[in-house]
Structure 1
Amino acid sequence: MLSMIGLISGLALLIFLTVKGVNLMVAAPFCAFLVALTSGLAIFPQLAAEGEASFVASYMDGFANFVFSWFLMFLIGAIFGKLMGDSGAADSVANWIVRRIGLKNAPLAIVLACAVLTYGGVSLFVVAFAVYPMALSLFKKAQLPRRFIPAALGFGSVTFTMTSAGSPEIQNWIPIPFLGTTPYAAWEVSLIVAVCMIIFGYWWLRKMILHAVAKGETFESRASDPATGERKLPNAFVSFLPLLTVLGISFAFHHSLEQSALIVALLGGCLVTLIFNRSYLKNVSESISEGTIGALIAVGNTSAVVGFGGVAKQTDAFSDAVAVMTNLPGDPLIGGAVAILVIAGITGSSSGGQTIALPLLAPHYMEIGVPAEQLHRVAALSSGVLDSLPHGGYTVTTITAICRERYKDAYPIYGALTVVVPFLGLLLAIILFSIGL
């Protein structure tokens, strides 16, 4: 009982401190320490019995594993975004888009850009780095409140594309070895759900932006923004080349190099930017340095939260919660969805929710006759619901490290589009499966 109270309290405190803007490098390990203390985990590895977990080891395993897996992508992605912004390439692309779809559709351009990159195989974290400079430029030209940028980035990245049939993102691939399915599992239902999420989500985003503008909100420039004004910009089609390079290389090498394809793709994007837009960069060394600092902040904040999940997974309360959720009575699709979305919420990771739950769910539900394709799609969709709570890794990175917004300003809109909309999409999928689609 004490372990469960500690887990819930630690998670609630972490969310509260995150929203209040407390440094995550302090807040996350502190909350993890409270969880470990109430669960009877040894503090140091030297004090733990052989084979038992400890607070320090569990936290640092989660922290270090994330850095190991993602640091280079964060680093090169941040530098790529900085080069695109400082060279004016992002402004050039933004101008081209504005001339064709109009300033009033600026948010739609951001959503679509993120969707194309995400569905093309670019990592979710990297998409935010790559598209943010263009988003900043578009929102400035349209004089829209910049606090909506994280929501536009998140909606285009972690909702209708991340969990859809055919998506190369890991959230759509994790179920395959457990269920014997393909990335296109239940594509008919997935297509209907994705279209509904796009239509409803964008309508909601646009409505909230228009409401804010009607109240007098507008774009507020900051000293850290890329220089604008009357400077000469690179050719629009040349400016598209770095983005196309990232998309093309990532798509071409996704299967052979898997996650490492992103390193090659982003390096390619950086090189193409330097080759074609070098004359538009005032200080390449400074741009790279600032991008590096941004990457360190982003990967540090995200790793800090992942470390909390590493401790949470070692507690008795977490094991008990998983056991209860994976054995819920009633429709097995609902039980599976609840288990995965809650675990994803606790760990702050969509992939974590699936990785922990599917080894337990898949054999049981397959044995009782649940169609594998349906379970695959529900697993993918449910993993993308509560992973976007305030402490989620992508959420922290996008709002604080990339967009540098305050949680109280940006998260209500962000949460509406990345938690509520995916939840409605999940419900729609379960309903469609229940009527035989």
Structure 2
Amino acid sequence: MLGFIGVFGSLALLIYLTVRGVNILIAAPIAALIAAVCSEISLFPQLAQEGNPDLLTSYMNGFTGFIGSWWLIFLAGAIFGKVMEDSGAADSVSKWIVEKIGVKYAALSVVIACAVLTYGGVSLFIVAFSVFPMALSLFKQADIPRRFIPATLALGSVTFTMTSAGSPEIQNWIPISYLNTTPYAGWEVSLVVSIVMATFGFWWLKRMMSKAMEKGERFVAKEFDKINEVNDRQLPHPLLSMTPLLVVLLFSFIFHNSIGTSALIIALIGGILTTYLVSYKYMQNRQKAISEGGLGAVIAIANTAAIVGFGGIVKETPAFLAAVDFMTNIPGSPLVGGALAIAVLAGLTGSSSGGQAIALPLIAPHYLDMGVDPEALHRVVAISSGSLDTLPHSGYVVTTIHSIAQESYKDAYPAFGALTVIIPILGSVLAIILFSIF
């Protein structure tokens, strides 16, 4: 009992510390310490009996293991996002979409702009930074409450695009290493699920915004909003700006069968070079873009690795092992247990990629030995990883709500959580049903 209290108590503490603004690099080890103490795990290897886990080794194995496996992809993705941002290509694509759809469909414009950039391989954080100024301007013109901007950005970025078949985002590529699949695994089901998630998610977003406006809520600008500066810069043509996104998708498709997850590195490098070719003269500071991309990659992977380290401790606790055993032996479709295991780990770590990296080595061999279709498992794992990963302690949540939109959790998170937690859960359920029928 104390072990279960330690696991979920440490998660609650991690969420609390994150919401209070404590850096995740500090909050995660503190939470890991609580989980280890409550589960009677030794703090140092010198104090552990032979063959037993210890806090220091388990935490650092998780931390460094994740960095060792995914650093180059994080680096290439961050630099690609930065050069797209510096060249104005990301702004050009999002602005073009916004202009074509118009103020009348302000929220839809923002969702589509985020979806196009995300599916094109641009980092989720760069997408949020790039589209936010357009969203701010549109929401002001449409007089929609400002607090719904983070939820709108998230709907287009981390729900139906991030984990769909063919997506170059890392959440769709991690399962390949463990299941020997492709990024297009289960694409037929993925297409249906993505359409349902997008449609229902947008309907729900519109409903929440309409209810708020019926109660008298309107757009209220903050003193630091720079709405009039959105259109000041000369941007490359939107069709040229889309070329790097298409290159990323094309290269990942061409090379994924021959070199697996390494294809994403080649695809992102191709996207970077293409951005330079088509938007070179629009770049404001080429060298700085690469440097900032590298620094951004360090911060992004360190934050994720810190959470993976926390998960590395959690997975050593008897409570977690009992929970995994329970979930993987749930009667009925094995996909249910897989989805639950991934979702819970993603929730514990606050990271969809971190949750996959911890859970898949444990559950993939078990399910493959049972004869579970690896393509179905890949798609269910990907979709379910995008559910509980956006609890309040998630790095993406903190960045989007606090750093970019500068809204409070009280105002912005209810809609944000509804769309990024509940919608993917429903998508996971639908995917399991479809895979079970067909």
CA drift at 1:310: 1.0
Instruction: Work out the CA distance in 2 between the residues paired with 1:360 and 1:226.
Output: 56
The residue number in structure 2 matching 1:358 is 364
CA displacement 1:253-288 (0-9 Å, x = unmatched): 333343333333333433444444444344434444
> Which of 79-88 and 394-403 deviates more?
394-403
Compared with structure 1, are the counterparts of its residues 398 and 51 closer, same or farther at alpha carbon in structure 2 (3 Å cutoff)?
farther
Instruction: Give the secondary-structure state (helix, strand or coil) at the position aligned to 2:260.
Output: helix
Instruction: Work out the CA distance in 2 between the residues paired with 1:182 and 1:273.
Output: 26
The residue number in structure 2 matching 1:160 is 160
TM-score by length of 1: 0.80
The residue number in structure 2 matching 1:424 is 426
Instruction: Give the secondary-structure state (helix, strand or coil) at the position aligned to 1:143.
Output: helix
> Which of 254-263 and 195-204 deviates more?
254-263
The residue number in structure 2 matching 1:284 is 286
The residue number in structure 1 matching 2:393 is 391
User: Which residues in structure 2 correspond to 1:9-408 (within 5 Å)?
Assistant: 9-116=9-116, 122=121, 126-143=122-139, 148-164=148-164, 189-210=189-210, 215-218=217-220, 220=222, 222=224, 228-329=230-331, 333-348=335-350, 349=352, 350-351=355-356, 352-364=358-370, 366=371, 378-392=380-394, 395=397, 407-408=409-410
Compared with structure 1, are the counterparts of its residues 342 and 64 closer, same or farther at alpha carbon in structure 2 (3 Å cutoff)?
same
Compared with structure 1, are the counterparts of its residues 128 and 234 closer, same or farther at alpha carbon in structure 2 (3 Å cutoff)?
same
Instruction: Work out the CA distance in 2 between the residues paired with 1:172 and 1:287.
Output: 26
**Preserved CA contact (<8 Å) 2:106 2:139:** no
The residue number in structure 1 matching 2:417 is 415
**Preserved CA contact (<8 Å) 1:87 1:278:** yes
CA drift at 1:99: 2.8
Compared with structure 1, are the counterparts of its residues 404 and 63 closer, same or farther at alpha carbon in structure 2 (3 Å cutoff)?
farther
Compared with structure 1, are the counterparts of its residues 176 and 405 closer, same or farther at alpha carbon in structure 2 (3 Å cutoff)?
same
CA drift at 1:117: 5.6
TM-score by length of 2: 0.80
Compared with structure 1, are the counterparts of its residues 194 and 84 closer, same or farther at alpha carbon in structure 2 (3 Å cutoff)?
closer
CA drift at 1:355: 3.9
CA displacement 1:363-399 (0-9 Å, x = unmatched): 45x4xxx777766654444343223323346555655
Instruction: Work out the CA distance in 1 between the residues paired with 2:98 and 2:30.
Output: 46
Compared with structure 1, are the counterparts of its residues 198 and 229 closer, same or farther at alpha carbon in structure 2 (3 Å cutoff)?
closer
Structure 1 stretches lacking a partner, 5+ long: none
CA displacement 1:155-177 (0-9 Å, x = unmatched): 33443345445666676677789
**Preserved CA contact (<8 Å) 1:128 1:398:** no
Compared with structure 1, are the counterparts of its residues 240 and 166 closer, same or farther at alpha carbon in structure 2 (3 Å cutoff)?
closer
Compared with structure 1, are the counterparts of its residues 81 and 206 closer, same or farther at alpha carbon in structure 2 (3 Å cutoff)?
farther
Instruction: Work out the CA distance in 2 between the residues paired with 1:294 and 1:339.
Output: 30
Instruction: Work out the CA distance in 2 between the residues paired with 1:298 and 1:183.
Output: 22
Compared with structure 1, are the counterparts of its residues 308 and 410 closer, same or farther at alpha carbon in structure 2 (3 Å cutoff)?
farther
> Which of 96-105 and 323-332 deviates more?
323-332
CA displacement 1:199-246 (0-9 Å, x = unmatched): 101112233345566612356585899964534333333333333333
Instruction: Work out the CA distance in 2 between the residues paired with 1:4 and 1:190.
Output: 35
**Preserved CA contact (<8 Å) 1:185 1:373:** yes
Instruction: Give the secondary-structure state (helix, strand or coil) at the position aligned to 2:40.
Output: coil
**Preserved CA contact (<8 Å) 2:80 2:271:** yes
Aligned length: 428
> Which of 224-233 and 211-220 deviates more?
224-233
CA displacement 1:272-316 (0-9 Å, x = unmatched): 444444443444344444444433332222221111111111111
Question: CA RMSD for the aligned pairs?
Answer: 3.8
**Preserved CA contact (<8 Å) 1:143 1:218:** no
CA displacement 1:373-428 (0-9 Å, x = unmatched): 76665444434322332334655565567777654454333321121011222333
CA displacement 1:140-161 (0-9 Å, x = unmatched): 3313566545434443344334
Instruction: Give the secondary-structure state (helix, strand or coil) at the position aligned to 2:123.
Output: helix
Instruction: Give the secondary-structure state (helix, strand or coil) at the position aligned to 1:49.
Output: coil
Residue 208 of structure 1 aligns to which amino acid in structure 2?
A: M
CA drift at 1:63: 1.6
CA drift at 1:324: 2.1
Give me the identity figure in percent.
Answer: 55
Residue 111 of structure 1 aligns to which amino acid in structure 2?
A: V
**Preserved CA contact (<8 Å) 2:175 2:181:** yes
Instruction: Work out the CA distance in 1 between the residues paired with 2:249 and 2:174.
Output: 22
Residue 36 of structure 1 aligns to which amino acid in structure 2?
A: A
Instruction: Work out the CA distance in 2 between the residues paired with 1:231 and 1:360.
Output: 54
Instruction: Work out the CA distance in 2 between the residues paired with 1:72 and 1:400.
Output: 28
**Preserved CA contact (<8 Å) 1:298 1:401:** no
CA drift at 1:97: 1.7
CA displacement 1:171-201 (0-9 Å, x = unmatched): 6677789889887666655444332211101
Residue 415 of structure 1 aligns to which amino acid in structure 2?
A: G
Instruction: Work out the CA distance in 2 between the residues paired with 1:148 and 1:11.
Output: 27
Compared with structure 1, are the counterparts of its residues 424 and 34 closer, same or farther at alpha carbon in structure 2 (3 Å cutoff)?
same
Instruction: Work out the CA distance in 2 between the residues paired with 1:259 and 1:44.
Output: 34
